[in-house]
Amino acid sequence: MGRVLLAKPRGYCAGVDRAVVTVEKALELYGSPVYVRKQIVHNLHVVTTLEAKGAIFVDETDEVPEGATVVFSAHGVAPTVHEEASARQLRTIDATCPLVSKVHSEARRFAREDYDILLIGHEGHEEVVGTTGQAPDRIHLVDGPEDAAGVNVRDPERVAFLSQTTLSVDETMTTVHALRERFPHLQGPPNSDICYATQNRQVAVKEIAEKVDLLIVVGSRNSSNSVRLVEVALDAGVPASYLVDDSTEVDAGWLDGVETVGVTSGASVPEELVTGVMAWLAERGFADVEEVTSAEEHLLFALPPELRRDLRAHERETAAS
């Protein structure tokens, strides 16, 4: 009989929960279709489920019919996207995670104060694109510590750094250290940009790392925080770690010689997908499950204000009739 250590916290964070509920409520309130720019969160199953309910996912705002409703994803957008939506007279609902909005605010502040901003993140990731758009003339992307040597700024004494919210905490600190060696006056945000959920899930993986022979991370391949969990596991000494969308992607060969399996999931993963992996493992003799808790999460975010306003108006109309 094998053993399973189930990491907690895992799965949905407050920002993802808010974004998914935003699309569901918008569909209930306005009816189908509701358009969503980019994947609302980086999870294949979430996107497929919302499509079945009437959501239509598009890459750019100009794919949305004029006057329609569009939801902006949890990863955030550049100001130019809001302008494009306004020009097409779209009803917009901004589901940007509040922790990403915090980074946007920091970018605008540093730009107003005439700093060059070094944004630590992965090129092409939607969050990085949205943050860069807050101050495109001031932001330089730094994709890991090896990029630090090539950064050129106007004034080495007026440099600040920000980061994508879903990075590895350890690698980000290594990058900051490399930047600080080049720019001793480097400024940073008052608090870490890496979100609480990303940090907590990485800590939870480290907590079980020495006790497992294999770690299965449930999450999609375009989910930055899920990919980081695999990397964190391997860096922490787990002999093998794999990323799977669901139980159909788990390989029975991974269990050869394995006594203890660790299981966790990224911040955009519904718990039912973890349950499916646990059932798959139980069928193969890994039925002894212990949940290992490294932190408790109680944070909730209110729905976007424009959606709350319309929901209240609908409730008043319903009550009056």
CB atoms within 10 A of CB 4: 20
> How do beta strands 159-163 and 139-142 pair?
unpaired
Report the distance separating Cα 36 and Cα 159, nearest Å. Answer: 35
Contact between 267 and 167 under an 8 Å Cβ cutoff? The reply is no
User: Helix (H, G, I), strand (E, B), or coil: what is residue 218?
Assistant: strand
Report the distance separating Cα 44 and Cα 46, nearest Å. Answer: 6
Contact between 238 and 261 under an 8 Å Cβ cutoff? The reply is no
Contact between 22 and 71 under an 8 Å Cβ cutoff? The reply is yes
Residue 157 bears catalytic tag = no
Look up residue 187 and give its two tokens.
């400024």
Contact between 117 and 110 under an 8 Å Cβ cutoff? The reply is yes
From the candidates 127, 249, 259, 283, give the one annotated as an active-site residue: 127
310-78-103-243 Cα dihedral, nearest 10 degrees: 90
Per-residue DSSP letters for 108-142?
HHHHHTT-EEEEES-TT-HHHHHHHTTSTTTEEEE
Query: What single-letter amino acid sits at 280?
Result: W
User: Which active-site residues does the annotation give?
Assistant: 127
